[in-house]
Structure 1
Amino acid sequence: MTALTRFQDHGVLVTGAARGIGAAVARRLAEEGGKVLVTDRDLPEAEKTAAGLREQGLTVEAFECDVADRGSVEAAVAHAVGTFGALDVLVNSAASCTPDVPLFEDEPDDTWARDLDVTLTGVYRCCRAALPHLAASGRGAVVSIGSVNARLDFGNHAYSAAKAGLGSLTRTLAGHAAARGVRVNLVEPGTVRTSAWDGREDELDALRGLYPLGRVGEPADIAAAVAFLASRDAAWITGTALRVDGGLTAAHSGFHAVVRPPGV
């Protein structure tokens, strides 16, 4: 457990927190003293995650929240404020990523719309509901989980477009919210080892060679970056997109392997 206490007595809401990056963020902020509401469409899994953290003496509750539904989002925000007395930090981790069909022209409207609605509009819904409370706290912070898919072509048309939209929303909302004392930032992960890769370990091993730092990410890597941006250590940072990608978008390892073979 970290010795930091940057979120002591902070009310925190994390979406998509039943597993993966969201669960790691919930753990990290709770370990640093936060009172965390783990929200997810999968309530049983969210409750399991919350129970595991409570067993470690952390202040964590679970609540069902579908970011595609305005009423569900507003209920989750109200529950966090009512339970913790305030809402100081919102972390938007919920997303939808549907595999591409072979031909772009065969992409169905409904899957395209679903990925954008959850991944981009869901963040809009959460920020809209939370912003008055974040402003009232006097130390409000929003951190959303983006993706390197917003920067380069890694497939997944709708998901990538939504993550690119998050970059714009982060900037415009940061400009709007600054006068109200709320900071808004974005973390853009590269490949992270989560349950989405279950059964695809061979692919993960192959991807390691594309990363200058020699490995794919772990959920804790992303949680650490979120904790920094949500904390007062980042008090003069807003509207920023922080890439946490092992150097993937900074250096092309495959190119260097061709033009400058190892050992030459």
Structure 2
Amino acid sequence: MTTDSGRFDGYGVLVTGGARGIGAATARRLAREGARVLVADRDAAEAGRHAATLREQGGTAEGVGCDVADRASVEAAVARAVDAFGSLDVLVNNAAHCTPDGARFEDGEDEDWAADLDVTLVGAYRCCRAALPHLAASGRGAVVSIGSVNGLQHFGNHAYSAAKAGLMSLTRTLAGHAGPRGVRVNLVAPGTVRTRAWEGRDDDLEAMRRVYPLRRVGEPEDIAAAVAFLASRDAAWITGHTLVVDGGITAVNSGFLHALSGPPED
């Protein structure tokens, strides 16, 4: 990675769940555009390795262990970013937890719902709460959260979907609160993205690819590009917005078309 002098020169950025997948791609994209990135992840060793890779590629990055389900851990990560970079200008809420659904809704466990909500929704709240004073002080603060099309339509995973829908609501309400303080708050809602969660499921990805209007599933870099836009001054008059980045899947009723005219053609 050659560092591009660009939109994030001098910015301090914190990316949760930043060691892998969408978080790792986002950290890489922002570092490439000049940001100083704190890669925060529950897996501290992996966060450190990814930060080291970004440095080897010419970026400025540090890694830190951070469990967004723990207030003290979140506050320590935010303090680390401010101490290391002198400011915190962008927070990317990417950490999430998804419990697979059981066969029947009524067989679900409270603990599964609590885990998905606590990491995916309440974790983002904890991060915003800790970061907001610093984002407001920066004069160019932005929050970008990673939601999901699951928060818009039924794609399974009840608890995860409810948490992502809640995150969309938090994006709107926090945008209203933080706007007068100079902080923008937005969300990217991805469709299916090729991440570690899909390892060993190539047949499933191939089946899903064919129902996407663009005939492919997303890559982490697709989402990172959208995050970079919303975090940058290019989006200076955008706040409280959910940007759907989904290859068109929520725009097209693929199941209806399949029933009407047969399987999609490549």
Measured against the shorter chain, the TM-score band is: over 0.9
CA shift for structure 1 position 3: 4.2
Moved over 6 A (4+): none
CA shift for structure 1 position 253: 3.0
Correspondence 1:78-227 to 2 at 5 A: 78-227=79-228
Q: Which secondary structure state, in structure 1, belongs to the residue aligned with residue 63 of structure 2?
A: strand
Does 2:11 match 1:5? no
The aligned length equals: 263
**TM, length-normalised to structure 1:** 0.97
Q: Deviations over 1:46-73 (max 9, x none)?
A: 1111111111111010001000000000
Paired position in structure 1 for 2:60: 59
Cα distance in 2 for residues equivalent to 1:255 and 1:227: 35
The AA in structure 2 aligned to 1:107 is: G
Paired position in structure 1 for 2:19: 18
CA shift for structure 1 position 4: 6.0
Q: Deviations over 1:27-52 (max 9, x none)?
A: 00000000000000001111111111
The AA in structure 2 aligned to 1:71 is: A
Q: Which secondary structure state, in structure 2, belongs to the residue aligned with residue 36 of structure 1?
A: strand
Q: Deviations over 1:149-169 (max 9, x none)?
A: 001111111000000001110
Kept in 2, the 8 Å contact 1:24–1:223? The answer is yes
What percent identity do the matched residue pairs reach? 73
Q: Deviations over 1:193-217 (max 9, x none)?
A: 0011011111001100110000000
Cα distance in 1 for residues equivalent to 2:97 and 2:126: 15
Cα distance in 1 for residues equivalent to 2:103 and 2:257: 30
Paired position in structure 2 for 1:72: 73
The AA in structure 1 aligned to 2:89 is: D
Cα distance in 2 for residues equivalent to 1:158 and 1:105: 13
Cα distance in 2 for residues equivalent to 1:79 and 1:43: 14
Query: Could you list the runs of 5+ residues in structure 2 that have no partner in the other structure?
Result: none
Q: Which secondary structure state, in structure 2, belongs to the residue aligned with residue 205 of structure 1?
A: helix
The AA in structure 2 aligned to 1:65 is: C
**TM, length-normalised to structure 2:** 0.96
What is the Cα-based RMSD across aligned positions, in Å? Answer: 1.3
Q: Which secondary structure state, in structure 2, belongs to the residue aligned with residue 61 of structure 1?
A: strand
Shift of the 249–4 alpha-carbon distance from structure 1 to 2, 3 Å rule, reads farther
Kept in 2, the 8 Å contact 1:40–1:64? The answer is yes
Kept in 2, the 8 Å contact 1:143–1:229? The answer is yes
Shift of the 102–254 alpha-carbon distance from structure 1 to 2, 3 Å rule, reads closer
Query: Could you list the runs of 5+ residues in structure 1 that have no partner in the other structure?
Result: none
The AA in structure 1 aligned to 2:160 is: Y
Q: Which secondary structure state, in structure 2, belongs to the residue aligned with residue 33 of structure 1?
A: coil
Kept in 2, the 8 Å contact 1:209–1:253? The answer is no
